[in-house]
């Protein structure tokens, strides 16, 4: 490492220390949740890699994708860095997020991909400054950590949806644009003409509450930390990928034993991509969900277009919604952006 690199790294380290968790806990007070400003044609979005490694080709493809939406891009300083299986050191990845929120030219922040790594940087984020500069932040999978932490600590609406390397097809864009550009109040409903669009009812009925959720594995890994929002009377959604059914069972048991599962007013399970039953004897995912959710007697369904799939909803965390378990719909009761 040369002298200039050392000074830069040392400076970032000092900056990160100033934004330590103890400072955040001391200064952030519970406040009304803020809706970030909507996107407009011609806006600049900041691309960051807060988790897994990306390639230059990923940036090239993402730039074309956002150009088609009428958006410009600005890259995080360390977006192509590598540190083991991470896209840079924890300090570098946190630095890019903090800088994007502080940058007045950037109107939204979009994660390049998930993977693993976001939990490692939660204590390095400047939640006070983030609240002062509310912006759309979008992603899913491992990005769940950032969405929940910023929602809880900075009290800003965050968005569970496509990452920059996702398939930005007509379905995905048809939900993203009305919500993020038009400040629309949208009803999300599965496509019924494909097998993946089939909704299964766990408990019928309708329920209202603020929407919260994300990747189930990530949420389980965050339990006991100060980076989670409240659960009481929330509409909870979850999705996952590559988990044997017994692991989903274990994570739901963790939510139950932590006293969280029985606080929800409604429950949605999205897609569990490549989640296999495992060795015999075993359960099907449907049976596990029935075991944990049906006794709660709350409206609940599974099969929603949420998760590691091409067709994705854009879900605003912290916004009031109503679900209908029979029709499998999620209806926003207010806009998610200002």
Choose, from 95, 123, 141, 145, the residue flagged as catalytic. 141
The whole-number pLDDT of residue 22 equals: 44
Pairing of strands 329-332, 187-188: antiparallel
Q: Are 49 and 112 in contact (CB under 8 A)?
A: yes
Secondary structure (H, E, C), the chain? CCHHHHHHHHHHHHHHHHCCHHHHHHHCCCCCCECCCCCCCCCEEEEECCCECCCHHHHHHHHHHHHHCCCEEEECCCCCCCECCECCCHHHHHHHHHHHHHCCCEEEEEECCCCCCHHHHHHHCCHHHHHHCCCEEEECHHHHHHHHHHHHHCCECEEECCCCCCCCCHHHHHHHHHHHCCCCCCEECCCCCCHHHCCEEEECCEEEEEEEEEEHHHHHHHCCCCCCCCCCCCEEEEEEECCCHHHHHHHHHHHHHCCCHHHCCEEEEEEEECCCCCCCCCCCHHHHHHHHHHHHCCCEEECCCCCCCCCCCCEEECCEEEEECCCCEEEECCCCCC
Q: What is the mean pLDDT of residues 240-254?
A: 96
Q: What is the mean pLDDT of residues 146-155?
A: 98
Mean pLDDT of 262-285: 91
**Residue 233 in this model has a pLDDT that exceeds 90:** yes
pLDDT at 14 over 80: no
Which of the residues 123, 145, 160, 308 is marked catalytic? 308
Residue 26 clears pLDDT 60, i.e. is over it = no
Check pLDDT > 50 for residue 98: yes
The pLDDT of 230-242, averaged and rounded, is 97
Q: Which domains does the chain have, with CATH numbers?
A: 17-166 (3.40.50.10740), 187-332 (3.50.30.60)
Q: Which of 30-39, 183-192, 259-268 has the highest mean pLDDT?
A: 259-268
With beta carbons less than 8 A apart as the criterion, state whether 18 and 129 touch: no
In this predicted structure, the answer to whether residue 335 has a pLDDT above a threshold of 80 is: yes
**pTM score, whole prediction:** 0.90
pLDDT band, very low/low/confident/very high, at 18 (cuts 50, 70, 90): very low
Task: Respond yes or no: is residue 160 known to be catalytic.
Answer: no
Question: Contact, 162 vs 172, CB < 8 A?
Answer: yes
CB-based contact 164:23 (threshold 8 Å): no
Determine the Cα–Cα distance for residues 315 and 111; give it in Å rounded to an integer: 15
Residues 47 and 100: beta-carbon distance below 8 Å: no
Q: What percent of the chain has pLDDT over 70?
A: 89
Pick the closest to residue 81 from 127, 45, 117 (CA basis).
Answer: 117
pLDDT the model gives residue 24: 45
Beta bridge partners of 300: 203, 267
For 176-224, the pLDDT digits (tens) are 999 999 999 999 999 875 556 689 999 999 999 999 999 999 999 999 9
Q: Which of 154, 166, 239, 304 is catalytic?
A: 239
Token pair for residue 131? 């609240």
Residue 21 has pLDDT above 80, yes or no: no
What is the CB neighbour count within 10 angstroms for residue 211? 24
Cis peptide before 22 (omega within 30 of 0): no
Q: What is the mean pLDDT of the chain?
A: 91
- Whether 308 sits among the annotated catalytic residues: the reply is yes
Structure-model confidence comparison of residues 281 and 139, the more confident one:
139
CA angle 300, 306, 308 (to 5 degrees): 135
Residue 6, number of CB atoms within 10 A of its CB: 10
User: Can you say how many angstroms the Cα of residue 180 is from the centroid of all Cα atoms in its chain?
Assistant: 15
Summarize the confidence of residues 35-53 as an average pLDDT: 98
Instruction: State the pLDDT at residue 157.
Output: 98
- Give me the pLDDT at residue 25, please: 44
Model confidence at 32, pLDDT cuts 50, 70, 90, reads confident
Query: Does residue 7 carry a pLDDT above 70?
Result: no
CA distance 59 to 21: 32
Q: What is the pLDDT of residue 194?
A: 55
Assess whether 239 carries a catalytic annotation. yes
Confidence at residue 243, expressed as pLDDT on a 0 to 100 scale:
95
Q: Which two tokens stand for residue 203?
A: 């408990």
Distance (Å, whole) CA 288 – CA 278:
13
pLDDT at 29: 55
Which distant-in-sequence residues (6+ apart) come within 8 Å of 317 by Cβ?
147, 148, 151, 157, 158, 159, 160, 211, 212, 213, 214, 229
């Amino acid at each position: 490492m040369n002298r200039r690199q050392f000074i830069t790294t040392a400076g970032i380290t000092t900056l990160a220390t100033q934004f330590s968790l103890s400072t955040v806990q001391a200064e952030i007070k519970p406040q009304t949740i803020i809706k970030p400003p909507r996107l407009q044609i011609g806006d600049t979005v900041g691309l960051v890699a807060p988790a897994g490694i990306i390639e230059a080709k990923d940036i090239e493809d993402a730039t074309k994708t956002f150009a088609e939406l009428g958006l410009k891009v600005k890259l995080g300083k360390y977006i192509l860095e590598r540190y083991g299986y991470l896209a840079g050191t924890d300090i570098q990845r946190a630095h890019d997020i903090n800088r994007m929120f502080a940058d007045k030219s950037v109107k939204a922040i979009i994660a390049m991909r998930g993977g693993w790594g976001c939990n490692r940087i939660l204590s390095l984020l400047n939640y006070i400054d983030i609240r002062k500069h509310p912006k759309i932040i979008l992603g899913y999978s491992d990005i769940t950590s950032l969405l929940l932490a910023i929602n809880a600590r900075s009290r800003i609406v965050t968005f569970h949806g496509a990452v920059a390397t996702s398939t930005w097809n007509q379905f995905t864009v048809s939900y993203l644009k009305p919500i993020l550009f038009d400040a629309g109040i949208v009803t999300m409903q599965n496509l019924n003409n494909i097998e993946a669009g089939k909704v299964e009812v766990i408990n019928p009925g309708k329920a209202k509450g603020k929407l919260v959720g994300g990747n189930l594995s990530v949420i389980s890994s965050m339990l006991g930390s100060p980076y989670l929002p409240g659960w009481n009377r929330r509409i909870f959604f979850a999705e996952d990928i590559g988990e044997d059914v017994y692991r989903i069972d274990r994570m739901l048991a963790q939510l139950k034993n932590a006293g969280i599962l029985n606080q929800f007013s409604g429950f949605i399970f999205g897609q569990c991509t490549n989640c296999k039953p495992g060795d015999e004897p075993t359960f099907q995912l449907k049976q596990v969900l029935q075991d944990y959710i049906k006794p709660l007697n709350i409206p609940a369904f599974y099969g929603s277009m949420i998760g590691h799939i091409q067709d994705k909803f854009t879900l605003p965390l912290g916004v009031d919604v109503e679900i209908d378990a029979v029709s499998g719909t999620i209806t926003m009761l207010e806009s998610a952006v200002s």
